[in-house]
Amino acid sequence: MAITESDVRHVAMLARLALTDEQVTTLTAELGSVLGHIDELQRLDLTGVQPTAHPLAMTNRMRADVIVPGLSREAALSNAPESDGMAFLIPTITGAGEES
């Protein structure tokens, strides 16, 4: 499939790109080359070739979904700089940039 400068200008307009005449000429040649490679691929005889999403066979390695106990409240708060025994205590942050 041949691509023309008017095709490139039309696509650039749809993409809201402002291209110079030099860029249009360059892109016409580059896109024509890409489309040429696609034409070559379409001519290949792929009878009996299975479609693939990845060139190598892959298997997900997942661990069993097992419920395990979490931390107790005391263990979670044991290394906290400050706590009230029930939750972490953090400094109050109000009004960005205000000095106390």
Mean pLDDT, 10 residues at a time, the chain of 100 residues: 91 96 96 94 90 83 90 91 90 68
Which residue ranges make up each domain of the chain? 5-42
Instruction: Give which of 26, 45, 24, 34 is closest to 1, Cα–Cα.
Output: 34
Question: Letter for the amino acid at 19?
Answer: L
Q: ∠ CA(67), CA(68), CA(72), 5° rounding?
A: 135
pLDDT at residue 23, as a whole number:
96
pTM of the model: 0.47
Q: State the Cα–Cα distance between residues 32 and 38, nearest whole angstrom.
A: 10
Length of the chain: 100
pLDDT at residue 36, as a whole number:
93
Q: And the tokens for 31? A: 């896109």
The answer to whether 12 and 19 are in contact (CB under 8 A) is yes
pLDDT at residue 6, as a whole number:
95
CATH architecture of the domain with residue range 5-42: Orthogonal Bundle (1.10)
Those residues with Cβ within 8 angstroms of residue 25's Cβ, 6 or more apart along the chain or in another chain: 5
